[in-house]
Structure 1
């Protein structure tokens, strides 16, 4: 338990410098993370489709087998969560969180540029850069939030939920624009657009970084700027070990959550592409166009409102960084208007397979504020029960896909295509499950781990997520084998039963987890 705070800690929570009840610095990180997730999810939405698309056609791919494509997808998504272990350690001991974030953003920009060249050599170079860059970026952004709220731990769950809204705003825009452009226009343009916004996010963070005060500086800079000693009461070694056991328990269940959840970029994308009715005619087509336009414009308008709230507090002090951010959003609005106009002008209405990926982000943008308020209210749930609820909701989401795919019979000459409703319901329940686990898991790591280990332990937590992502790719690659031997329903029932069962198990562990936390809530 810290008895003092960093130099600028008290200033962060003044009404004059806060935005929507939180420090303005949180929203600088919100937008920086948003552009990083824009690039990550924009590329992720295209990768499997690009690799498995035919070699010929208007927008050719590489015609890889599903198993090979999902194998690479699993390896890549595993890699982006493996490297944060080293990235967190480098930041803790050498660079500091800020410079690690900036260097990671630069390396990822180069990675996206490489992938836009569409050769196998540059594909692997690009994916390698994205793994390394993400390792430097991801754990250290979350570590900065932990330090920003050091004196206000009671606000961490809400802060991480709001931050997670930024994460998913980026995912929404990335899938919406990079996915659409890549699938409907050119894969190269889709991959390249991801890199452009990663670069803009890096520049915005660089020119606004002084808003964080002492937070995130390198160990050497922190020592030079420190005006008072930070006195930290020694926590007894048994207590520390018990709390680390809780982190380990949460991490184990996190593996299984992500192994199922990350089917979104693999088997669920294939389900959308091959088995979902995406060609709409007549009134259905016009209704989709109107709904799509609303779903496209409304979230961007909400995020723009947050942007102006940030401008009102920071524009005079950080003009260049805010101009970069304003330029980014001007480009986003231009692309959004172009996309909506293009859809309304089209003679036929075909929903892009990547479109369903925006639903997760859209639901998070809508629901994250509600979950944030829930976690800050007297009805807040204990950590183990939040994890249990999240796993059960995830399993129920796959239950909709299992039920919806019952009419699909392996070996039929004509492929049966099912209603989009099943995918929409699956993404809704998956999103609610994610909000119970992902931001909450980050918050608990920050509260249970000693301050000096924060960066490294976030990296370790992401290591478990990496395992889940690799399993996701391996399991997703079995979709054709399981479907041909049994049925598509059987494939999705596996992802229904396992999460629900594990949700019951971790809920039953609540008394043990509560005791091991030693008062951490």
Structure 2
């Protein structure tokens, strides 16, 4: 097992190519959040959902939104695989960026065509997801052990830049949608994505490019896992193999069951063996979750059998991946809360009063409830320097050295508290009282503080915890945690559409919205406690590349 470096590295300079990556990220994030933050308001009022009764449009808009987010964070698997096996990070980022641009063009051109608009969402999910794990690790590739002390500054700046783009997108996109229509509101983010691609291409001669393995590296996570599962040990059987095969069988069974019911229902028949609310996205995500869980347990049970055929460092790194998988699994509730700020909180804001009569309210800037999302990136840009320059130094002087895992655990807890406050606001709305939109500032503050503790910290944590051969799988698993976080939202929303569940909620005296807000809060707080318990035993690694 690798040990943490205890001596200070030689001071190296900041890589000169970093501004190209940061500039690319700022424009790309504007393009992504510009379309994402108006997606739910657009769908609720668009002809795309005109076939549904008005009471069902909000629920369907939320389902479309979270299905889109699931795709965005699923396709890092594809991008990481193509980069590692064939093209390398630079070329993969460039080609997926062009697909990304095509998706934006579809949204702008097909605002009233369901097939064309959803094709655009698919292309954006593919392009954005394909580059997502690569840009972060591409930043890490520009550093070595001589200047890794600069990496934390750049990772924080990288995350600050993401929110710089998101801030302006959150303010401008809702106004563009209202004043100029969806073609312009979706077209402007498309132009920014083209600019992002151009900026990235302009730095092509300066980047450090780690070559792809082309599948020849014998010590990748997949190769070590395969050896561990297939190796036999005299008199010990292969229990891990059978556990992994159970996961594979469940994966195949779920997909076959969904396919069978889709064929039967397409011909007008009934398929009682499969819930109608379990569409392809939910079914595929649940199947993938079971495959990862059972596969991970099986590999862990037999991992030491890979020693001898693989180096001890490779086997230890594979075990580190499995440990990180647990960390990421415990983070998934955070994402189920965080991503609903663009769906559930926007819909809650639509039921609130914009306080234009208040002297302190910026009526010249904020006129739509959806614009409250701009608070999130604005607060991130303030909280990151506050934490680094004030909070963390003060805590260190007081004798508290807060680790990366401790920060992430506290972040999950703060997200839970944010949803407690959102639930209390919902109770006020449900009572019939006129409720000012300004009250959403408090849950946004708590949620954003939690986001900085979780997400900004995890960018560096995820990159540092595995060897070069396994950085790709680590980043893909990190983004899959967002996929599964949004899966919990889809499954919960599907569950409350059941009449028996609705009766149980009614007996609590809470509205459906309030009940779900308190449910998600409890979900996050419970996982924060579990995360804290696991973090105490987690062995930290240091796997920056040598100079």
How would you bin the TM-score normalised by the shorter chain?
0.7 to 0.9
In 2, the alpha carbon distance for the partners of 1:217 and 1:251 equals 27
In 1, the alpha carbon distance for the partners of 2:384 and 2:45 equals 35
Asked if 1:367 corresponds to 2:383, the answer is yes
Asked if 1:143 corresponds to 2:98, the answer is no
Distance 1:375 1:154, change over 3 A: farther
Residue 288 of structure 1 is matched in structure 2 by 361
- Answer yes or no: is the 8 Å Cα contact 2:415–2:521 preserved in 1: yes
Asked if 1:489 corresponds to 2:505, the answer is no
**1:288 aligns to what SS in structure 2?**
coil
Structure 1 runs, 4 residues or longer, greater than 4 Å off: 61-64, 216-220, 372-380, 476-485, 518-521
In 2, the alpha carbon distance for the partners of 1:62 and 1:144 equals 46
Displacement, 1:237?
4.5
Distance 1:483 1:265, change over 3 A: farther
Any residues of structure 2 matched to 1:163-182 within 5 Å, and which? Answer: 163-182=158-177
In 1, the alpha carbon distance for the partners of 2:486 and 2:202 equals 34
Any residues of structure 2 matched to 1:115-154 within 5 Å, and which? Answer: 115-117=107-109, 118=111, 119-151=113-145, 152-154=147-149
Residue 263 of structure 1 is matched in structure 2 by 340
Asked if 1:36 corresponds to 2:28, the answer is yes
Distance 1:131 1:39, change over 3 A: same
Q: 2:197 aligns with which of 202, 213, 217?
A: 202
In 1, the alpha carbon distance for the partners of 2:505 and 2:374 equals 26
In 2, the alpha carbon distance for the partners of 1:198 and 1:519 equals 34
Please, what is the CA RMSD of the aligned residues? 3.2
**1:177 aligns to what SS in structure 2?**
helix
Q: Greater relative contact order: 1 or 2 (C-alpha under 8 angstroms, separation 6 or more)? A: 1
Any residues of structure 2 matched to 1:448-459 within 5 Å, and which? Answer: 448-459=465-476
Distance 1:380 1:115, change over 3 A: farther
Distance 1:247 1:150, change over 3 A: farther
More displaced stretch, 195-204 vs 126-135: 126-135
Residue 299 of structure 2 is matched in structure 1 by none
Question: What per-residue deviation string (whole Å, max 9, x for no partner) do you get for residues 116-158 of structure 1?
Answer: 1211111111011112111321111011112122324444443
Q: 2:325 aligns with which of 245, 248, 264?
A: 248
In 2, the alpha carbon distance for the partners of 1:140 and 1:69 equals 30
Residue 183 of structure 1 is matched in structure 2 by 178
- Answer yes or no: is the 8 Å Cα contact 2:84–2:472 preserved in 1: yes
Distance 1:370 1:409, change over 3 A: closer
Residue 223 of structure 2 is matched in structure 1 by none
Asked if 1:391 corresponds to 2:412, the answer is yes
Displacement, 1:409?
2.8
- Answer yes or no: is the 8 Å Cα contact 2:33–2:166 preserved in 1: yes
**TM-score, length-normalised on structure 1?**
0.74
In 2, the alpha carbon distance for the partners of 1:44 and 1:479 equals 25
Question: What per-residue deviation string (whole Å, max 9, x for no partner) do you get for residues 7-53 of structure 1?
Answer: xxx9x943xxx4xxxx3433322221111111111111111111111
Listed as ranges, the gaps of 5+ residues in structure 1 are 3-9, 221-232, 293-342, 345-349
Displacement, 1:279?
4.8
Question: What per-residue deviation string (whole Å, max 9, x for no partner) do you get for residues 435-465 of structure 1?
Answer: 1111222212211111122223312221221
Distance 1:112 1:77, change over 3 A: same
**2:17 aligns to what SS in structure 1?**
helix
In 2, the alpha carbon distance for the partners of 1:386 and 1:84 equals 25
Displacement, 1:191?
0.8
- Answer yes or no: is the 8 Å Cα contact 1:483–1:491 preserved in 2: no
**TM-score, length-normalised on structure 2?**
0.70
Q: Which has the larger radius of gyration?
A: 2
**1:94 aligns to what SS in structure 2?**
helix
In 2, the alpha carbon distance for the partners of 1:179 and 1:215 equals 39
Question: What per-residue deviation string (whole Å, max 9, x for no partner) do you get for residues 369-408 of structure 1?
Answer: 2334566995542233112100111111112112222223
- Answer yes or no: is the 8 Å Cα contact 1:181–1:189 preserved in 2: yes
Any residues of structure 2 matched to 1:36-55 within 5 Å, and which? Answer: 36-53=28-45
Displacement, 1:174?
1.4
- Answer yes or no: is the 8 Å Cα contact 1:386–1:437 preserved in 2: yes
Asked if 1:460 corresponds to 2:483, the answer is no
In 2, the alpha carbon distance for the partners of 1:195 and 1:389 equals 36
Asked if 1:509 corresponds to 2:534, the answer is yes
Asked if 1:72 corresponds to 2:64, the answer is yes
In 2, the alpha carbon distance for the partners of 1:256 and 1:497 equals 10
Question: What per-residue deviation string (whole Å, max 9, x for no partner) do you get for residues 310-367 of structure 1?
Answer: xxxxxxxxxxxxxxxxxxxxxxxxxxxxxxxxx38xxxxx721211110100001111
- Answer yes or no: is the 8 Å Cα contact 2:321–2:474 preserved in 1: no
Q: How many residues align?
A: 423
Q: 1:404 aligns with which of 425, 437, 443?
A: 425
